[in-house]
Chains A and B, each alone.
Chain A
Amino acid sequence: MLNQPITRRRFVGRGLALLAATPSIPSFLALTADQLAVAAAEPGAAKNSDLPVLVVLQLAGGNDALSMIIPYGDDAYHRARPTLGRAARDVLKLDDTIGLNPNLTGLKNLLEQKHLAIVQGVGYPNPSRSHFRSMDVWQSAQPQTEHPLSGWLGRYFDQTCGGEPDPHVGLAIGQSLPLAMSGGRVTPLALENPDRYRYRGPDPQRFEALNQLPRNSDEANANQSALQFITRTAIDAQRSSRRIRDLAGGISSRNGYPATQLGQQLRTVAAMICGNLGSRVYYVTLGGFDTHVQQQGRHDALMRQLGESIEAFWKDLSSAREAERVMMMTFSEFGRRVSQNASGGTDHGAAAGLFLIGPKLPAAIFNPHPSLTDLDQGDLRWQVDFRSVYATLLEKWLKTPSAPILGGRWPMVNL
């Protein structure tokens, strides 16, 4: 192990020569900035393979949480949902008031094994019913900022990664990087298909020369300039490509995943966690939740995909003895209107329940379901600010001060 981190600039300066001389990526690239920082801060401290991992699962489009965590025991629910409402006999009962969507049997098992907790009525003051605005709020955790430039996970990377920024700290499954992962100093990786995650142009040895940071670059403007940004991303892509593909070789040996989009995404994440890519945060997205019309069948299918995929993921991590260091959080930009609409669907709402899935979660149901009659313009009122959930994950799970990241202190969700 190297005693001191090699800086990006030094790397770039030597990059061409190094890559030309050695067929494989130099060994120091395998270290993440985290490891280097941990090694520097706490001699003999944790190896990368011991560090906690957070998996964020975004349900895009506005998940109807009332059809996920169903308040079947409340008459108001059945009044508001004359056709979408589910009878008591059809839900997976958790207590006398709420039950899970019948397609979430796998998650009910996890809950009974104390691996899944429910936080209800999560939202924020003056909620926006716009997909984009509300998604920006959740991803940035800066509701006051009109056009946020960084995300809460991006600021987490900025805060915790010492030395030169290393893109391996986070990995988003998908073509592009979500705002939540964007920071000031670090731009984490995005990955859609491991097989295609490589440079295939002519003369790979020329890649570094064509993609080097201008020598007389103005460091102060480094993050502002689009050219710098693209150049850094190119270098990061090339650096991470071989590693990712090596680890991706392990994907096919991971069994039990449904052949769904989310199932395969989590399968890739599992391969990266078990292969020790070194990312502290993985980000996965499942879309299709904007169910204005004919909701039931579509939402049920999404729930089935969600339940089966998470169950398979958890089984896999458990048998690989990695589940102990993995925590997952689901979220959506908003829940949906309590009353169904005329099209057998639901319109944009506000507060909603979410899942936390992790190794030791004693309180299965953190708080009671919010009122279905005391509403804010037809929508559930929030009981738990989403920043409290973030603060809890940052402080208790990732072990980092949350106030600088979230712009203030938020009460912990005591699990």
Chain B
Amino acid sequence: MLPPILTPFRETDADRFDRIKAAHLLNRAAFGGTDQQIQRVVELGPQKSVDWLVDFYDVGIDEVDPADGADLSGLDGYPTRFADLRKLLAGKTEEQRKELQMRLRRANGQAMRQIVQWWIGRMIRGPHPLQEKLTLFWHGHFTTSARDERLAELMWRQNDLLRRYAAGNFAQLLSAISRDPAMLDYLNNTQNRKAHPNENFAREVMELFTLGIGNYAERDVTEAARAFTGWSHDGTDYRFNSFNHDRGVKQFLGQTGDFNGQDILDIILRQPACGRYIAARLLNFFVMENPPAEAVQALGELLWQSNYELRPVLKTLFCGKLFYSPEAIGRQIKSPVQLLVGTAHQLQLPAPAAQFVRYALEQMGQVPLDPPNVKGWPGGKQWISTNSLLQRYNLMSELAGKTAFEDCADQAAAVRRFVDRLIGRPVDDAKLRELSDALGRVPARQRSARLAQWIVVMPEYQLC
């Protein structure tokens, strides 16, 4: 049984599914909407719009269009499997090896930047914005950093893995990511061996990926670490190294057996706390910070009972009354990615240059593939400091300066139009008047760009 706050929002005469709510849905389940998209969502109504957003095919880019995807051609000619790399290095002098390794490092660094650039581009123009938003969500959840993973190919594969499972089944996603080479590298599971277990992955899989603190003990971490011993990869694919695996009996979350890593994941998934933890993370990312306990409880149960199918949970979440409540609308601080992608998308700007994208994300504090640590980006008020806010203002006004010309002869109407397009919520009348008055002093040809620049440096625009 869903609590009333999660039952579907139904339009009444007093409470319409208006442009504010439509823009809200597009802000949260996508990266903001254009004028036409918002209008279309109003016409479709919440249910059909949510279906349109959530019902994409669970496929990675490689299955949709092998010609699409990040340009990794800089890596052509370099081997990815460790065995091939060893062969290539064999018989070379020390100097030649160093030379080769340096070239490889450079090629990988370049390829990493290509992935980010391609991904941001896909978010801006993407046919399935929620798939990309969920991919970003899972990237922040199952973090892996390009700083620790030198093989760009593996980061690319992980990115596409997250895309493929984005709205599919969480249990499958967990199993896949736990065998993902980039993840195995990032959390040192490739060094997790029977003789001396390395606990890094075992700890984070419970603390950050599935259960949260308080739902396991220290002992469970050391025991789980033993079960994951031998989980490794060969440079491209998961490999189980039975020589390094501890086949002994483990005690884990109250159960005893000669568990392997998959057994551990299965036991974790059987804990109702896992459903609640993932539900809380989804609510926090898509709806509000500190969501009501009853919402976490109910969505967690729904996820658990549906064997971790994500779509029913996402649809409930995006259709529910809580999502359209005043406590949710306009209260989220945009992440730097949301800010950048949303500005480009909502103003329908030409794709920003690679250099600008890279610099802007660095300065605002969120470079995809480079999270601050395994917990991902903290979000919320943490996005904002005096430092980061100045960078957000400067970079977004630079970007908005490229806004195409449109007629702003009627100042007041132009202000209303732009505020509606970019903020989509009521703004203090006094500020609207300020903007309108100021616009009168700007030459006609520059008005649309200037107006967009002013709006992106308003506190209201930092929220969605």
Which A residues form the contact surface with B (CB < 8 A)? 60-61, 128-133, 147, 167, 172, 174-177, 182, 187, 189-192, 196-203, 206-207, 209-212, 214-215, 226-227, 229-231, 233-234, 236-237, 240-241, 290, 292-293, 341-343, 345, 347-348, 377
Which has the most chain A C-beta neighbours within 10 Å: B193, B332, B428, B457?
A: B457
B374 closest partner in A (C-beta): A131
Residues of B within 8 A of A345 (CB): 188, 198
**B450, CB-defined interface residue at 8 Å:** yes
Task: Kindly state whether residue B391 has any CB partner on chain A within 8 Å.
Answer: yes
Q: Within 8 Å of chain A (Cβ to Cβ): is B86?
A: no
Contacts of B393 in A (CB 8 A): 199, 201, 234
Q: A190-B388, A377-B218 are in contact. List 13 more A-B contacts (CB 8 A).
A: A60-B373, A132-B207, A175-B385, A190-B386, A197-B390, A199-B390, A210-B431, A226-B463, A227-B463, A234-B393, A237-B387, A342-B196, A345-B198
Q: Is the CB of B198 within 8 A of A342?
A: yes
> What does the 1/0 interface line of B375-397 toward A look like (CB < 8 Å)?
10000011111111111011001
Task: Tell me if B203 counts as interface (CB < 8 A to partner A).
Answer: yes
- Could you tell me if A203 and B213 are in contact, using CB atoms closer than 8 angstroms? no
Task: Say yes or no for B236: interface residue by CB 8 A criterion.
Answer: no
Which residue of B375, B384, B434, B438 is within 8 Å of A132 (Cβ)? B375
Q: How far is the CB of B198 from chain A (nearest CB, A)?
A: 6
Report if B191 contacts A (CB, 8 A): yes
Closest approach, in angstroms, between the C-beta of A24 and any C-beta of chain B? Answer: 19
A202-B397 contact in complex given A130-B207, A231-B459, A377-B218, C-beta closer than 8 Å: yes
A200 & B195 in contact (Cβ 8 Å cutoff): no
In the complex with contacts A197-B390, A215-B430, A229-B188 CB distance below 8 A: no
Residue from B188, B373, B438, B463 within 8 A of A230 (CB atoms): B463
Min C-beta distance of B150 to chain A, whole Å: 14
Chain A residues within an 8 Å CB radius of B333: 226, 230
Q: Which of B387, B430, B458 has the most CB of A within 10 A?
A: B387
Instruction: Report the separation of the CA atoms of residues A175 and B290 in the bound assembly, to the nearest whole angstrom.
Output: 24
Chain A residues whose CB sits within 8 angstroms of the CB of B389 once the complex forms: 230, 233-234, 237
Least CB separation from A376: chain B residue: B218
Contacts of B381 on A, CB cut-off 8 Å? 182, 226, 229
In the complex where A128-B213, A190-B385, A231-B459 touch, is A176 in contact with B390 (Cβ < 8 A)?
no
B199 touches A200 (CB 8 A): no
B365 nearest CB across to chain A (Å): 5
The contact string, 1 if C-beta is below 8 Å from chain A, for chain B 420-461, is: 000000001011001100100000000000100110011110
- The answer to whether B387 touches A190, judged by C-beta atoms less than 8 angstroms apart, is yes
List the A residue with the shortest CB-CB distance to B244: A342
Q: How far is the CB of B147 from chain A (nearest CB, A)?
A: 10
Q: A175 and B388 in contact (CB under 8 A), knowing A227-B463, A348-B199?
A: yes
Q: Chain B: interface secondary structure? A: helix
B191 touches A293 (CB 8 A): yes
Assembled-state Cα–Cα distance A81/B75 (Å)? 40
30 A/B residue pairs, CB under 8 Å, sorted by A:
A167-B386, A175-B388, A176-B383, A191-B386, A191-B387, A192-B387, A196-B390, A199-B393, A199-B457, A202-B454, A210-B434, A210-B454, A210-B457, A211-B457, A229-B384, A230-B384, A231-B459, A233-B384, A233-B385, A233-B389, A234-B393, A234-B459, A237-B389, A292-B188, A292-B191, A293-B198, A341-B198, A342-B193, A342-B196, A343-B188
Query: Which of A132, A177, A196 makes the CB contact (< 8 A) with B385?
Result: A177
**By the criterion CB–CB under 8 Å, are B453 and A202 in contact?**
yes
Question: When A226-B463, A347-B199 are in contact, do A237 and B386 touch as well, CB less than 8 Å?
Answer: yes
* Residue pair A211, B213 in contact (C-beta under 8 Å): no
Which residue on chain A has the smallest CB distance to residue B201?
Answer: A292
Q: Interface residues of B, CB < 8 Å — how many?
A: 54
User: Is B331 part of the contact surface with A, judged by Cβ < 8 Å?
Assistant: yes
Please determine whether B200 and A292 come into contact, CB atoms closer than 8 angstroms.
yes
Contact for B196 among A189, A290, A341, CB less than 8 A: A341
Are the C-beta atoms of B200 and A347 separated by less than 8 Å?
Answer: yes
Contact of B331 among A61, A211, A226 (CB under 8 A): A226
Nearest residue, chain B, Cβ from A344: B191
3 closest residue pairs by CB, A with B: A342-B196, A190-B385, A201-B397
- Contacts A133-B213, A190-B385; A230 near B462 (Cβ below 8 A): yes
Residue of A nearest to B387 (CB): A190
Inter-chain contacts of B218 with A (CB < 8 A): 129, 377
Out of A130, A226, A347, name the residue touching B198 (CB < 8 Å).
A347
Contact A131 B373 (CB under 8 A): yes
A199 x B394 contact (CB < 8 A)? yes
Collect the chain B residues with CB atoms within 8 Å of residue A207's CB.
457
Specify the chain A residue showing the minimal Cβ separation from B455: A210
Chain B residues with Cβ below 8 Å from A237 are 386-387, 389-390
- Determine the chain B residues whose CB is within 8 A of the CB of A212 once the complex forms: 431
From residue B462, how far is it (CB to closest CB) to chain A in Å? 5
Among A133, A175, A198, A199, the one with the most B-chain Cβ atoms within 10 Å of its Cβ is A175
B363 within 8 A of A: yes
Q: Report whether A203 and B454 are in contact in the complex, using a CB–CB cutoff of 8 Å.
A: yes
Chain A residues near B382: list those with CB within 8 A.
176-177
A236 contacts across to B, CB distance below 8 A: 386
Q: Kindly report which residue of chain A lies nearest to residue B365, judged by CB atoms.
A: A175
**B363, closest chain A residue (CB):** A196
Per the bound structure, the CA–CA distance linking A236 and B463 in Å amounts to 18
CB-CB under 8 A for A176 and B213, given A202-B450, A206-B454, A234-B459: no
